[in-house]
Chain A
Amino acid sequence: MEGIVERSAIVIAAFNEAAMIGTVVASCRRHYSMTIVVDDNSTDGTGAIARRSGAILLRHVINLGQGAALQTGIEFALASGALFIVTFDADGQHQIEDVEPMIAVLRRGDADVVLGSRFLGRAPGISLLRRALLKAAIALTGLTTGLRLTDAHNGLRAFNRAAAQTIRISQNRMAHASEIISLIAQHKLRVVELPVTVTYSEYSLRKGQKTRHALRVLADLFTAKLSR
């Protein structure tokens, strides 16, 4: 069991998460020794805290965005021999206890990608507006990719090695979540959703995505289509 746990990597993209990163890394490290934090050029000492908490630290010399940081962490995890790679948020919204059931699905070979769904699980503190926006995003994702998901923008995702090698995130910023879903559909990866808990604290809401950013996501995805 210990050997399998060690071949699982947790990848956390972090930007100015000094308040929470120590707690998040510590909770991940209790279960997974390969806890990777990609510090996206934070200015509040996030990287140092993550390292002191036991994370494997990678640093971006300029701020690129969550999508870019996740891809950096995924590439490092693959180079380190990880069999299963899990993306995990740095702001404390996710629960590490939700990860093992996701990896178990991958280990059995029942899927290539396991996505966490707050709408199958729990989302205490979520506002009606955010719920409505997420539902709209899910509907749009379903139209464009053909995938019927209940939660298309949850940062808690697990990939087997082959899927992680296939999915190359090119959207540096917020559009990466939509891009991941598109890539899953494009490469016909087997995807399963599992219920997870996403906790909306005052801290995470303050740090979270603003509604206006949704328009920027659309612009980024459109630009990506043009530049191919």
Chain B
Amino acid sequence: MTIKIILSLGLIACCVYFLVGVGSVILLRGPVVLIALVGAYFVWNPDQANVVAQLVGIGRGADLLLYSWVLISIFVIASFHVRQKMMMDSVTRLVRHLALREAAGETSLDPVGSTNGEGDAAD
């Protein structure tokens, strides 16, 4: 019983976090809340996991949850990549703004030592 309560509280916290704390990546919000609610349901009704598993052609509920976890992990990794791209876009705009301002004589930049990523070259 204790572990069920702990797991349920964790999943509820996950729901709340993604409903109020995540940025504009809508791809992430809805599915995460749905998965958390489904997870909470299976926590209190573990036999139902076996029923659902057999419906979709998987032998055991545990296997269903494992495969689901793999898919969810891939999804999460992809969403992190998307968010990283969004952050990089912001950094790019800032760096460009500084470069343009310096060229216009509005400011002066000090070089920041070595690069922080691999450089590109022309094809």
Contact = CB atoms under 8 A, between A and B. Distances in A.
Contacts of A155: 122-123
B102 interface: yes
Nearest to B88: A172
Interface of B: 25, 27, 78, 81-82, 85-86, 88-89, 91-92, 95-96, 98-100, 102-104, 109, 111-123
A204 B122 contact: yes
A174 B89 contact: no
B80 to A, nearest CB: 10
A75 B104 CA distance: 12
Interface residues of A, number: 48
Contacts, number: 112
B103 A63 contact: no
B100 A41 contact: no
A162 interface: no
Contacts of B120: 13, 15, 40, 65-67, 173-174, 209
Interface string A63-91: 11111100110011001000000000111
B117 A63 contact: yes
A76 B100 CA distance: 7
Interface of A: 13, 15-17, 38, 40-43, 56-68, 71-72, 75-76, 79, 89-91, 93, 153-155, 170, 172-174, 177, 204, 207-209, 219, 223-224, 226-227
B22 to A, nearest CB: 14
Contact of B111 (A61, A75, A172): A61
Nearest to B101: A58
Contacts of A71: 96
